[in-house]
Amino acid sequence: MISKPIMAAMIFSGDCSLPKGFDTLDFDALTKLWQKVKHQLKNKDFLKKLQSLNIHRVKRDQIGQVIKLYENDPYMTVAWISRESGFSTHLFQWTNLIIEY
């Protein structure tokens, strides 16, 4: 699902969070969450927030949410995402580098 890296970037920027008990493999639940956050992509502030993101201010719970978002999803690989979206591929790689840091 190419929306997961976008949601992960939004989690790191503080614009999104996973509800408690959220099932990250439930397509319907992901679609509902995506509907709530996708309008923020149209806003140019999204890219500005990503550019100004200070990785030293990313909190452990945000990292945990992104790990939960990606874990156990066989489609969360660079090879798969790159077939669908270059933008999501770069965000996926970027968010993984933040996790590693």
Q: Return the pLDDT at 83.
A: 92
Q: What pLDDT does residue 1 have?
A: 66
- Biggest CA–CA distance in the chain, Å, is 33
Separation CA 18–CA 26 (nearest Å): 13
Domain map (residue ranges) of the chain: 3-100
Instruction: Identify the three-state secondary structure at position 48.
Output: helix
The 10s digit of each residue's pLDDT in 54-92 is 889 999 999 999 999 999 899 899 999 999 888 899 999
Query: Which pLDDT tens digit goes with each residue over 3-30?
Result: 899 889 888 988 888 888 888 888 898 8
Distance CA(55)–CA(97), nearest Å, equals 10
Tokens for 63?
Answer: 């990292």
